Amino acid sequence: MDKDFEKRYIAARKRVVEADFAKLNPMQREAVLATEGPLLVLAGAGSGKTTVLITRLGYMTQVCGIPPQSILTMTYTVAATREMRARFAVRFGDALAGQLEFRTINGVAARIIALYSRMYNRTPPDLIQNENDTAPLLTRLWQETNHEYPTESTLKDLRTAITYIKNMCLTDEELDALETDIDNLPELYRGYQRALKAGHRMDYDDQLCFAMQILRGAPAVAKAFRERYQYFCVDESQDTSKVQHEIIRVLAQESGNIFMVGDEDQSIYGFRAAYPQALMDFEKTYPGAQILLMEENYRSREPILDAANRFVARNRYRRPKTIQPTQGAGEPLQIVTVRRRADQLPFLFETAQNCETETAVLFRNHESALPIIDLCERRGVPYGCKNIDPTFFSNKIVRDVADIFALAAHPADADVFLRCYYKFGVPVTKVQALYACSQARQYGQGCWTALLNEDSIRPRIRAAMADVAHGLARLPRMAADDAVRFVADELGYGKYLDKKGMDRTKLAVLEMLGAQEDSPAHLLKRLEILRGIVQDHITPPGCRFILSTIHSAKGLEYDRVILLDVLDGILPAKPELACRTPGETQQYEEDRRLFYVAMTRARQQLVLFDCVAERSAFVEEVLAALPGHRKRPDVEPAGRRPVPPAARAPLPPVDVESITTVGAHVRHAVFGPGTVESVSGHRVTVRFTAGSRTLDAQVVAERHLMWKE
């Protein structure tokens, strides 16, 4: 009876597989049937790669009779393994799914180390499972090496760099030659590794390196794994690092049964050491390998794919392929022309207000979301967020601006002065700075004012110091966005950033946020509020307007996609790298792949901003391929180019009359609810909870700072 049931069960499963076959296109079917030998499936965006992988596992176990315990399926994240197991279980049942192994490569590395420890009676290093556990160590090393306290974002960048070094298997010479924005990275890295070794500890990246060393140096361990597994499947292989590819190669080299799915056009984790070159070298690594192209796209409409294909085809380091649409024609790309970066906001806000279609606003950097989050929060418009990182608020540049604002408000604050005195482009020595602090305390002066009394300072430098002192005195009375620009352009901070090789993009975000605030002090308060909002935000149920980085949107799809902040200096980060050394070109091409991934998230509609005064090499490449597009002349300075008619979609205007009627109930973005007490011309006095304030009605209306309740 049991045997009869088992036969019927297997027959039923075979019928499921056969039914699935009917839904596959010829190339998908070929990938499923090729169970022996090395096979690389280059699966384009939206081509159904997960469906193929799951169907292939079903075919191997149910039709070919391959024991499920002999198959090891690896993918990039724990979430991906769970999703794949769940999807397999839906198709083929929980029992069979429980016999298959779905693991991350780190999970495989952990099992290699565990087996080695048992076989050789060794105690492995303790695994650091929470990166916060290393924060004190990294902080101490940074202070000792760079003589300053690191911010949260600095530690994040350092961790990313350490991951890159280990996963790329860099030698000491390559480490010393590595170009990076992190000061003294080789010294920091070696200090970190010495500390881990002394404590008999390892991080997740060490876990991979240790596993690779075991496979190379302990043949018995490698043999045990090869005897256990004869078939290896690797999903998202374009995101797999160099050390991970090496682990896979050593495990699979004996059986040769390696099934790898990926797409070098979608490799976007180079900063974490993703190694798409392994896909380009697949035939060299696995002799006799078969390469299959899955080029039919089941997601996006034809205009979207046509633009995406033309765009990514400009990359040199890729296998030629063209993704074919199956969803038919659709709307052409929507090009929204704006004058400058900040002018993207009105269009986004209007979209959020009237969002009836599933819409994702995608961007490279987390901080790109903050101005629209700020606007939606002020006006009560629902929005969703996907993994927005709050480290912007602790970024070094943001902290510097906050310090300068604080020094302007409290000129005698010695601690703040010492943190920023050398960032104004004025040559001040540490000795002079300490002298100024002591004089300020003694005579009750501001630190800059005290500095002017130092006799050894030359007249020209004294004049520059006086300019800084006068500028700082004016700063608290400025509107917040004017204050940010003043700090960068007039107080010398922008030149300081240029000298350090740091970009100004975060200053632009601060300026956009400051456009809603009437003073630097209010901007600093708003930043604290926004930090809490970003950390605690929960997407409302059924919300159709979603904000996400491109990296977080990978593997997802939306009816409409709006690409935000595609500008030179952001995406691409370094347009000057386009045609330089091979390494620099590959860095530039990863930026192009990132933009390509963003484009191919869209099902029905793709929206691009064309900023008239801020160049975008990528947008220009896309526009150049559109029918009827005429290249914009570059003879006129960018700042003087005229804005095309109806180029901006403004925010719903605030009616000045509605906020200049005595007795009217209004709401101010900073001061909250209030009642209009009196009106004199365009000046309006409003009684708020914290007291009465007289405001310029036209200014607060234009800036959307106050509106009628």
pLDDT of 367: 93
Angle at 134 between CA 128 and CA 137, to 5 degrees: 135
Residues 6 or more apart in contact with residue 600 via CB below 8 angstroms: 45, 46, 297, 299, 300, 304, 305, 308, 323
The string of DSSP letters for 450-494 reads HHHT-TTS-HHHHHHHHHHHHHHHHGGGS-HHHHHHHHHHTSSHH
- Yes or no: say if 467 and 447 are a contact pair by the CB < 8 Å rule: no
User: What number is the average pLDDT over the span 361-377?
Assistant: 94
Whole-number percent of the chain with pLDDT over 90: 58
Q: How many CB atoms lie within 10 A of CB 434?
A: 14
Which segment of 4-8, 57-61, 631-635, 698-702 scores lowest on mean pLDDT? 631-635
Residue 476, CB half-sphere, CA atoms under 13 Å: how many?
A: 10
Q: Identify the residue with better confidence: 593 or 4.
A: 593
Pick the closest to residue 278 from 227, 240, 223 (CA basis).
240
pLDDT of 640: 29
Going from the C-alpha of 637 to that of each of 96, 176, 295, 344, 504, the distances in angstroms are: 66, 42, 43, 21, 20
pLDDT of 648: 30
- AA identity, residue 394: S
CA dist., res. 178 & res. 170, Å (int):
9
Check whether 373 has a pLDDT greater than 90. Answer: yes
pLDDT of 697: 81
Q: Hunting for tokens 């019928």 — which residue is that?
A: 15
Roughly how many angstroms between the first and final C-alpha of the chain, as a whole number? 75
Check whether 193 has a pLDDT greater than 90. Answer: yes
pLDDT band (50, 70, 90) for residue 330: confident
H/E element holding 194?
A: helix 185-198
Name the CA radius of gyration of the chain, rounded: 30
H/E element holding 680?
A: strand 672-680
User: What number is the average pLDDT over the span 79-98?
Assistant: 91
CA dist., res. 654 & res. 659, Å (int):
8
Q: Hunting for tokens 């234009």 — which residue is that?
A: 702
pLDDT digits (tens, 9 = 90+) for 662-692: 898 887 755 668 899 998 887 888 887 767 7
pLDDT digits (tens, 9 = 90+) for 210-242: 999 999 999 999 999 999 999 999 999 999 999
Decide: helix, strand or coil at residue 677: strand
Burial 653-665 (b: 16+ CB within 10 A, else e): ebeeebbbeeebe
| φ, ψ at 692 (rounded to 5°) | -85, 145
- Yes or no: say if 33 and 2 are a contact pair by the CB < 8 Å rule: no
Pick the closest to residue 472 from 397, 375, 563, 405 (CA basis).
405
CA dist., res. 709 & res. 658, Å (int):
9
**Token representation of residue 24:** 């596959």
Burial 566-599 (b: 16+ CB within 10 A, else e): bbbbbbbbebebbeeeeeebbbbbbbbbbbbbbb
pLDDT of 649: 36
**Token representation of residue 101:** 């192994």
Which segment of 31-40, 94-103, 546-555, 693-702 scores lowest on mean pLDDT? 693-702
Pick the closest to residue 674 from 623, 649, 700, 708 (CA basis).
708
Average pLDDT, the chain: 87
**Token representation of residue 12:** 């039923």
Residue 125, preceding peptide bond in cis (omega within 30° of 0): no
pLDDT of 132: 83
Q: Hunting for tokens 């890295």 — which residue is that?
A: 189
Q: How many CB atoms lie within 10 A of CB 18?
A: 12
Pick the closest to residue 160 from 189, 119, 137 (CA basis).
189
Whole-number percent of the chain with pLDDT over 70: 91
pLDDT digits (tens, 9 = 90+) for 400-446: 999 999 999 999 999 999 999 999 988 888 888 898 898 888 888 88
Decide: helix, strand or coil at residue 596: helix
Residue 652, preceding peptide bond in cis (omega within 30° of 0): no
CA dist., res. 300 & res. 287, Å (int):
35
- Please give the DSSP secondary-structure letter assigned to residue 579: T
Check whether 3 has a pLDDT greater than 70. Answer: no
Residues 6 or more apart in contact with residue 219 via CB below 8 angstroms: none
- Yes or no: say if 323 and 47 are a contact pair by the CB < 8 Å rule: yes
Check whether 560 has a pLDDT greater than 80. Answer: yes
Burial of 344 (0-12, 13-18, 19+ CB in 10 A): buried
CA dist., res. 231 & res. 40, Å (int):
14
H/E element holding 42?
A: strand 39-43
Burial of 120 (0-12, 13-18, 19+ CB in 10 A): exposed
Check whether 7 has a pLDDT greater than 80. Answer: no
- AA identity, residue 433: A
Q: Residue 546 CA to chain centroid, in angstroms?
A: 15
Q: Identify the residue with better confidence: 180 or 513.
A: 513
- Yes or no: say if 440 and 412 are a contact pair by the CB < 8 Å rule: yes
Check whether 180 has a pLDDT greater than 70. Answer: yes
H/E element holding 102?
A: strand 101-104
Q: Is 543 left (phi over 0), alpha (psi -120 to 50) or beta?
A: beta
pLDDT digits (tens, 9 = 90+) for 588-599: 899 999 999 999
CA dist., res. 356 & res. 352, Å (int):
9
**Token representation of residue 7:** 């036969």
CA dist., res. 608 & res. 363, Å (int):
11
User: What number is the average pLDDT over the span 492-515?
Assistant: 90
Q: Hunting for tokens 């881990």 — which residue is that?
A: 196
CA dist., res. 618 & res. 596, Å (int):
10
- Yes or no: say if 543 and 357 are a contact pair by the CB < 8 Å rule: no
